[in-house]
Amino acid sequence: MSNKIGDDDSIYLTPLHKLHITLMMQEVYEYYLMTSRIMNSMSSMMHTTEQSDKIETILYTTTGGSKKTMRLVEEITLPNKLVVEIWDNSRPISDDTIQVRLVIKIKVDMKEEYFSETEHCEQVKKVFGPEIYYEYQKDRTFVNKSEKDTVFSEFLNDFKRDMLPYLERPQFPSRFAVSKYKEIQKRFYKYQHLLNKSK
């Protein structure tokens, strides 16, 4: 089978290029699965009460049916009473390399006080559920396993330095909730079937 791209004989797909393409396709598919679960099954996401050893099964990989897990590393309670969950979602790529991934989750309960009208709150609940999640991810591929902890710590320190000052503001929960209402209005055709459901 030819490795050529188009009619230019000077362009070939090397084995490394093929590996990159395969990994990118898998990441897109896994992101789709995770997004679908968050949007459609928000209320079913389970969190244990352990601390550093918490494990949450989020996805099934597409190869071999094995489970992909995330490990809860830390929880931070913010001045606005929100709790930041810091997850390690790293996974091996080969014998000596790993994909390092930091995942941040913050649960925000829907409250009428966040909205100018009660109906706006009800619409958000109908579409996204009584709880919505702010999520942030950062990852790096092909990291040497010996450098995994260093890279993860770098990601985490960057998040704490750059993002926490914004997330801990008193206005963040209400602004995030209102952003979900604006999303419904902007993509009304997408969510109309959920809004039309009887209570």
Q: What is the pLDDT of residue 25?
A: 65
Show the tokens assigned to 71. Answer: 């490990």
Give the pLDDT mean for 178-184.
Answer: 96
Q: Give 199's pLDDT tier (boundaries 50, 70, 90).
A: low
For residue 141, the surrounding DSSP H or E stretch is strand 131-144
How many C-beta atoms surround the C-beta of residue 143 within 10 A? 19
Going by C-alpha positions, the residue among 75, 129, 84 that lies closest to residue 105 is 84
Amino acid letter, residue 154: E
Give the pLDDT mean for 158-184.
Answer: 96
Show the tokens assigned to 61. Answer: 């990989």
pLDDT above 60: residue 4: no
Percent of the chain surpassing pLDDT 70: 65
CA–CA gap between residue 162 and residue 171 (Å, rounded): 17
pLDDT tens track for 68-115:
579 999 999 999 999 999 999 999 999 999 999 999 999 999 999 999
Q: What is the pLDDT of residue 196?
A: 87
Please provide the average confidence, as pLDDT, over all residues in the chain: 79
CA–CA gap between residue 55 and residue 35 (Å, rounded): 19
pLDDT above 90: residue 144: yes
Q: Report yes or no: 84 and 73 within 8 Å, Cβ to Cβ.
A: no
Show the tokens assigned to 165. Answer: 């000052």
172-186 and 188-195 helices, crossing angle to 10°: 100
pLDDT-wise least confident of 48-52, 67-71, 81-85, 169-173: 48-52
Q: Report yes or no: 115 and 181 within 8 Å, Cβ to Cβ.
A: yes
The bridge status of strand 91-92 relative to strand 131-144 is unpaired
Q: What is the pLDDT of residue 82?
A: 98
